[in-house]
Amino acid sequence: TRKIIIDTDPGIDDAMAIMLAFNAPSLDVLGLTTTFGNVPVSLATSNALKLVELAQKNVPVAEGVATPLSAPQLPHPDFVHGKDGFGNIDWPAETTKADGRSAARFIVDTVRANPNEVTLIALGPLGNLAKALELDPEIVNLVDEVILMGGAAVEPGNVTPVAEANIINDPHAADIVFTADWPVTMVGLDVTHKVMMDEALLQKIRAADTKAGELLYQSTQFYFDFYNKTFGINGCFVHDASTIVYAMAPEVFTTEPGIVRVATEGVAIGQTIIAHPDKHYPLPHWQDKPQSKICMGVDSERLLAIIEATFTDA
């Protein structure tokens, strides 16, 4: 099994991703760390605790950053995820408490305790990973892989024509994470916009997993509604759960090497600008920077089949 920490801003599709990870026999979730993003961080923490309780898991939740490192804070997108982050379903409050440590401290401690075994899966803005790097720069040599949902190589953005939500919510943090010398895999809109979940699959998840299924079913109705109004589609894109599937079955994706920098100001703020490692440019931004793996292709049918099987076999 693969040991993972999920850094998250739940969030309807984050909830789906977390439940998927809890149900995946090949993944061992060591903890959830929370960030502002879809909702304020205190609500992200409450929601993460609700999910852990629902799944009856003994998994710590550590609260992380409330604001971006230095860029202006964007409003929380309650028209996408609801005021409560779960599509305004009024789910009962949590009864347990978060770990006393900050998200960054929890990440450092857990990576140090499991050298070269922990994969960090980031499903929100990247402030906690940036803070963990600041706290202990040597973790770059001790983390197995960083798999992050965010960015777009050639696909247009979903917040601006060039920026994806998780990156534009904290562009400085994203640039720190992409330029640190650790193995990063980017699961961005180039692939997540090719994966769509529909009502039929959601019904199967609901039927298979009575507790989590009900929360996922109820909250995703709001998400479907948003997608229907915005894109005219019947269903939703699977951003965060696709990122979990990458950790379970990377062979479902094709990747290309790239050196990623993030625009941190101006009209292109939040854009992931990707240089092919063989190209040489006269300006220094992409020189001597580590290569990431960029997901460019996905077998969407297989990916959805993995989600279905993971929920229904559990």
Residue 9 known to be catalytic:
yes
Q: Are strands 184-187 and 292-298 parallel, antiparallel or unpaired?
A: parallel
| DSSP H helix total and E strand total for the chain | 12, 11
242 near ligand BDR, rule: CB under 6 A: no
DSSP 271: B
User: Residue 84 or 240: which CB sits closer to ligand BDR?
Assistant: 240
123 near Ca ion, rule: CB under 5 A: yes
Binding partner at 110 among ligand BDR, Ca ion, none, C-beta below 5 to 8 Å by kind: none
Per DSSP, helices labelled H in the chain are: 12-23, 41-54, 78-81, 103-113, 127-135, 165-168, 171-179, 189-192, 199-208, 210-231, 240-248, 300-312
Options 63, 94, 144, 164; binder of ligand BDR; rule CB under 6 A? 164
CB of residue 53 to Ca ion, shortest distance in Å:
20
84 near ligand BDR, rule: CB under 6 A: no
Q: Which of 7, 9, 14, 240 is catalytic?
A: 9
Whether cis (ω within 30° of 0) applies to the bond prior to 11 is: yes
List the structure tokens of 82.
């609801």
124 near Ca ion, rule: CB under 5 A: yes
CB of residue 261 to Ca ion, shortest distance in Å:
22
Compute the distance between CA of residue 231 and CA of residue 253 in angstroms, rounded to an integer. 25
188 near Ca ion, rule: CB under 5 A: no
14 near Ca ion, rule: CB under 5 A: yes
Q: Which of 76, 81, 193, 239 is catalytic?
A: 239
Neighbour-count burial of 200, counting CB atoms closer than 10 A to its CB (0-12 exposed, 13-18 middle, 19+ buried): exposed
Options 71, 239, 242, 310; binder of ligand BDR; rule CB under 6 A? 239
Beta carbons of 71 and 170 less than 8 angstroms apart: yes
Judged by CB under 5 A, the number of residues near Ca ion is 6
Residues within the interface to ligand BDR (CB under 6 A): 11, 13-14, 38, 80, 123-124, 149, 158, 164-166, 239-240
